Structure 1
């Protein structure tokens, strides 16, 4: 049985300096590792790609399932892991759940890994 990701405070961005600035504390390393672990799956990368590139800003679970060719229940599981890591926000509307990427979480992660990236 795979280990579940520990719950982290998704309301706060990554709070540590870049990995190249100094040796990281155990807590900071865990926070970064949990986010990277949440992204370390091809289906989750594809889901994030769809969410980050949609013109609508949000996508229904059913449309995401079609986009990644997986069952809705499987997509829901992947989205749950991304949500726990602070990468996705979800909102229920009637029978459907709509998801949107938290691009600021990815920006924070990018800055922790490489502060000189994308400048």
Structure 2
């Protein structure tokens, strides 16, 4: 067994994450199959559960920043689906905004927060 620190999350959080995957798959399947009413409906549970996961893990910086990136990925994904359903492909390019914001959260974490946390851990050791 490794002496690496173990990461685990409470079971109730894991259940919510698994539910989120189901919602996201139904939303994307609806998009692929052009089931517009179901696809549009699934935006709400998919986004809601993603935001709940972000809220629940807000005390762990790594989880918070990664989940914020996922939230913006889902917003972009839902917006993109809606533009296709409404035959407004000209508006699809605006997905760059939430996708870009998600990348900014990831960059902030890996460029600033993680190195700071590693340095603090080294000083404690």
TM above 0.5, yes or no, is no
Q: Which has the higher strand share?
A: 1
Whose radius of gyration is greater, 1 or 2? 2
Q: Which has the higher helix share?
A: 2
TM-score for both structures, normalised by structure 1: 0.30
TM-score for both structures, normalised by structure 2: 0.29
Higher relative contact order (CA 8 A, sep 6+): 1
